[in-house]
């Protein structure tokens, strides 16, 4: 039997005027246990954010709230914790597009970046290519990154870093709200 989503397991990291709002697919068990985004030590998210130039120092799950000081927010497309993203159902994404639209309207981030194609697909029901998307939420451009999950090991680190660097360059070009 499925349990109800517990959004307090991994709280959103949000503030107005973000440079980038990252949208993960959903919290994994390690993230839920740590109450932190991208907490699996084999997940490359924090290292990619730093090495792309989005943060001047390596943060990590224990310092996730410090990301706000660098204009970075984090949420998830699906709120239910699962062992893996393959355990998600369509219903887990119910309301995700509406919730992200509200965040785009109220927080006005420069860019919303989906960490993995499946986060985008679950939200909008469409298969994206990596990079800048043709649609927006409110006036906010949408960008799709490769997944940083250890399950995405088929995509080399250098390739993931290239996309994170492209995002970082785009964030710097986008006007502030």
pLDDT tens digits for 52-61? 999 999 999 9
Q: How confident is the model at residue 26 (pLDDT cuts 50, 70, 90)?
A: confident
pLDDT for 65 beyond 70? yes
Active site residue: 26, 35, 43, 152, which one?
26
**Which residue's structure tokens are 């998210």?**
45
Task: List pLDDT tens digits, range 144-157.
Answer: 999 998 888 889 99
Q: What architecture is domain 20-173?
A: 3-Layer(aba) Sandwich (3.40)
Residue-level pLDDT at 80: 64
Share the mean pLDDT of the chain. 89
Q: Beta strand pairing status for 111-115 and 72-76?
A: unpaired
> CA 53, 57, 62, 67 torsion: positive or negative?
negative
Residue-level pLDDT at 84: 63
Q: Is 152 a catalytic residue?
A: no
State pTM to two decimals.
Answer: 0.91
Q: Is 37 a catalytic residue?
A: yes
Residue-level pLDDT at 73: 98
Residue-level pLDDT at 6: 44
Residue-level pLDDT at 5: 43
Both tokens of 159, joined, read: 């390739």
Percent with pLDDT over 70 in the chain: 88
Residue-level pLDDT at 7: 47
Residue-level pLDDT at 175: 74
| Domain boundaries of the chain, sorted by first residue | 20-173
Q: Is 99 helix (H, G, I), strand (E, B) or coil?
A: helix
Residue 171: enclosing H or E segment and its boundaries?
helix 157-173
pLDDT for 103 beyond 90? yes
pLDDT for 3 beyond 80? no
Active site residue: 37, 40, 43, 50, which one?
37
Q: What is the mean pLDDT of residues 50-71?
A: 97
């Amino acid at each position: 039997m499925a349990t109800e989503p517990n959004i307090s397991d991994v709280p959103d990291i949000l503030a107005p005027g973000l440079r980038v709002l990252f949208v993960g697919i959903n919290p994994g068990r390690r993230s839920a246990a740590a109450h932190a985004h991208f907490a699996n030590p084999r997940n490359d998210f924090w290292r990619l954010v730093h090495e792309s130039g989005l943060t001047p120092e390596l943060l990590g799950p224990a310092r996730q709230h410090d990301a706000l000081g660098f204009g970075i927010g984090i949420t998830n497309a699906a709120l239910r914790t699962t062992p893996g993203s393959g355990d998600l159902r369509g219903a887990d994404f119910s309301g995700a597009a509406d919730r992200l639209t509200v965040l785009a309207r109220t927080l006005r981030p420069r860019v919303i970046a989906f960490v993995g194609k499946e986060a985008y697909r679950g939200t909008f029901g469409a298969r994206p290519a990596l990079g800048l998307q043709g649609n927006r939420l409110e006036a906010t451009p949408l960008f799709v990154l490769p997944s940083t999950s250890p399950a995405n090991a088929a995509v080399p680190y250098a390739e993931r870093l290239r996309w994170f660097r492209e995002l970082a360059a785009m964030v710097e070009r986008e006007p502030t709200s």
